[in-house]
Amino acid sequence: MAAELVRRQVSVLTTTGGENAAFAAKAATSKIPIVFVIGGDPVMEGFAANFNRPSGNATGITLLTNQLEPKRLGLLRQLLPSATKIAFLVNPGFAQSERQLTDVHTAAGAINLQLRVLKANVDGDLDAAFEAIAQEHVGALAVGAAPFFDTRRDKIVSLAARYGVPTMYHFREFVTAGGLISYGVDPVEVYRQAGTYTGRLLKGSKPADLPIMQASKFEFVINLKTAKALGLKVPEGIVAAADDVIE
């Protein structure tokens, strides 16, 4: 698809959905300006030389979703202080999956938490993952940030409810759909910024002159209705710290 857009000589390529789309655009052209929205570190991934002066033909925004995995794990432990084993659901097809696993293992070790890694790349894997959680009596689940999971939001939330698994997510949309808890960026603000950058490039700005933006607005959301259905009493401190409480 990226190659086809290049053949059509578009003025700007704007990519969403994580690193895979950005990699495709970068491989397709070194001349057409690119605006990317990714979850990881754009310098480490090779999209830009540095944040302030990207150089090359690409600039954009990082959501920091992958770097926030340890934070989510810590919040889940605060919600369930008696839990000794938590599952982490990762999409092995996602470019940042290895980095996610490294960070989560380190975070789990720091709080003496046993981690059960479950991998899902297709719908059947999701069903198998929740069956494993039930069979192994895992106390809770943290869903790793990945575009595949975003497209399966309703299925994951439904499975968590069916199996009675307290689950942490990376976007509030999971919680408004019936999930328990989330911590992450405000995606609407991020995509608005991506649109602004796209407009500036269309008006003649150069990618090298537009610093890479980092998400700065984070949301901690709890669904108390879901907590009640799971038989959980959410500590008052966590409720007070939440940016939004769904009742």
Characterize 96-121 residue by residue with b for buried, 16 or more Cβ atoms within 10 angstroms of its Cβ, and e for exposed: bbebbbebbeebbeeeebebbbbbbe
**Residues 108, 86 share a domain:** yes
- Each residue of 235-244: pLDDT tens digit? 999 999 999 9
Residues 128 and 10 in one domain: no
Chain-centre distance for alpha carbon 122 = 17
Q: Give the structural domain span for 75.
A: 66-185+219-246
SS3 235: coil
Give the pTM: 0.84
**Do 135 and 49 share a structural domain?**
no
The identity of residue 168, as a single letter, is M
Quote the CA–CA distance of 80 and 76 in Å, as a whole number.
Answer: 6
Q: Model confidence at 213, in pLDDT bands (50, 70, 90)?
A: very high
Could you give the number of structural domains in the chain?
2
Q: Is the pLDDT of residue 216 over 90?
A: no
Q: Are residues 82 and 116 in the same domain?
A: yes
183 vs 112, higher pLDDT:
183
Same domain membership, residue 156 and residue 119: yes
Q: What are phi and psi of 240, to 5 degrees?
A: -65, -30
Same-domain status, 102 and 205: no
The yes-or-no verdict on residue 226 having pLDDT over 90 is yes
Are the C-beta atoms of residues 144 and 88 closer than 8 Å to each other?
Answer: yes
Separation CA 233–CA 247 (nearest Å): 13
Same domain, 89 and 167: yes
Do 24 and 46 fall within a single domain?
yes
233 and 113 housed in the same domain: yes
Planar angle of CA 87, 90, 93, nearest 5 degrees = 160
Residues 92 and 55 occupy one common structural domain = no
- Report pLDDT digits (tens) over 100-127: 899 899 999 988 899 999 999 999 999 9
Q: How far apart are CA 35 and CA 12, in angstroms?
A: 8
- Average the pLDDT over 139-153 and give the result: 94
Q: Residue 201: which CATH number?
A: 3.40.50.2300
The pLDDT of residue 112:
87
Question: Domain check: are 52 and 130 in the same one?
Answer: no
Query: pLDDT-based confidence at 194, cuts 50/70/90?
Result: very high
Same domain? 54 vs 125: no
Query: pLDDT (tens digit, 9 = 90+) per residue, 49-68?
Result: 889 988 889 999 988 776 78
